[in-house]
Amino acid sequence: MPRGAHRPSAAGYRHAAARATFPFLLFLVLAAPTVAIAATYVVVDLGTTPPGISAVVRGLNDSGEAVGGSITFGMGHRGFVVTPTSLEMIDGLAGSDYTIAFGINRLSQIVGSSNTGTSVRAFRWTRQQGAEDLGTLGGDNSAVAFAINSPGQVVGYSSGPQGTRAVLWGVGGGITNLGTLPGGRGSRALAISDSGRVVGVSGTQSGDRGFRWTTAAGLQDLGTLPGDTESEAVSINNTGDAVGSSTNSSGARAVVWPAGGTIQSLGTLPGGSHSRARGINDVGMIVGSSGSTVGTRAFLWTPSGGLRDLNNLIPQPSTFVLVGALAINNSGTILAIGRDATLDPHDEHEAHELPIRVFLLVP
């Protein structure tokens, strides 16, 4: 088995259908993934989402496992974990007709949410024990989990009559309300480092702001670029650097908040009017999406190379265009999405009817 591919135990099979084919990977031949040698990356084609099929891909761990969710014919919307050679479906909580996986850690523990018929509930899943309900804050009835770190701490939000609050679930149980920034009516925790530093977004009196939370300092406003009104922090590495976007009336800009430093704009690709950072690894490599003269493109940012179009780092000509990079792990592997190169670039505004292709870019 390649690195990152696991065979579920007997207990795991009770909670996840073994290696089932589903629409997200309708055109994927698991035994023989499409691989091309790139100038900078080996490109592994994980498959295509057919038109009209709801599919989402999110988290990536250091073993190259990616998670998400997709409609499975006759079985509703289910979570999945996928590698270049294997696919495993995740049922989620009992009675769920809609499950999606958002995060995965180095131990292949997975978190996400399941619609149980009465409410949306956050879960943590392992191959040994299946899915467990993480619970909510007192008085709430819904929750979603977005990320899990290596020790097993989980972050997301709990929701109820009093609004939505960013929360932290402990390894051995228990849930902590991370609160909101002053004047905020809601917050969501989106990522967590191995040391327990959390980032996310909170409402304030002047709009949404990215935040960083630590046990010692609590919730801190990360601020915006000068002249901007809102921001969002979506990823944090183990040195404490966070990434996301800062927004004004003209659009969003990808940004990084260095640990102990001030916010920095990553800019856009040539001709672009917007950009968003989605992921950062421990050496400071950042990925996301940016507008350009030829449409929305996936980017890689490094301190030495600046912002680069990932399409220029793979073999050309290509049958596809990379339009977004969602995550990067500590091996430098990138989880990216794209579309067929023959599609009109003016139709790539995340329209649900367009086929989306999913790739791993391996250095």
Fold category of 10-362 in CATH: Methylamine Dehydrogenase; Chain H (2.130.10)
Confidence of residue 10 (pLDDT cuts 50, 70, 90): very low
Whose CA is closest to 143, among 160, 122, 124? 122
Q: Where are the domains of the chain?
A: 10-362
At 3, is the pLDDT very low, low, confident or very high (cuts 50, 70, 90)?
very low
With 90 as the cut, is the pLDDT of residue 83 above it?
no
pLDDT of residue 117: 81
Per-residue pLDDT tens digits for 125-148: 999 999 999 999 999 999 999 999
Give the residue among 285, 294, 295 at the shortest CA–CA distance from 329: 285
Dihedral pair phi/psi, residue 46, rounded to 5°: -85, -5
Percent of the chain with pLDDT over 70: 82
pLDDT digits (tens, 9 = 90+) for 307-357: 999 999 998 888 899 999 999 999 999 999 998 887 665 554 444 445 678
Q: What amino acid is encoded at 219 in this protein?
A: L
**In angstroms, rounded to a whole number, what is the distance separating the alpha carbons of residues 237 and 279?**
9
Kindly list the distances between the CA atom of residue 207 and the CA atoms of 60, 136, 221, 224, 233, in Å, as whole numbers in the listed order: 30, 26, 12, 11, 14
* Predicted TM-score of the model (pTM): 0.86
What distance in Å separates the CA atoms of residue 276 and residue 332, rounded to the nearest whole number? 19
Q: Does residue 7 carry a pLDDT above 60?
A: no
Could you tell me what percent of the chain has a pLDDT over 90? 68
Q: List residues bridging with 200 in a β-sheet.
A: 189, 211
Q: How many CB atoms lie within 10 A of CB 278?
A: 24
Q: Average the pLDDT over 77-87 and give the result.
A: 87
Supply the DSSP symbol for 157.
Answer: E
Has residue 122 got a pLDDT over 60?
yes
Q: What span, in angstroms and rounded, lies between the C-alpha atoms of 3 and 96?
A: 31
Strand-pair category, 334-340 with 356-362: antiparallel
CA 124, CA 345: separation in Å to the nearest integer? Answer: 38
Question: How do residues 242-262 score in pLDDT, each as one tens digit?
Answer: 999 999 999 999 999 999 899
Contact 123, 131 (CB under 8 A): yes
Give the pLDDT confidence of 23-76 residue by residue, as tens digits: 334 333 222 333 433 358 989 988 765 554 556 788 999 999 999 988 665 566
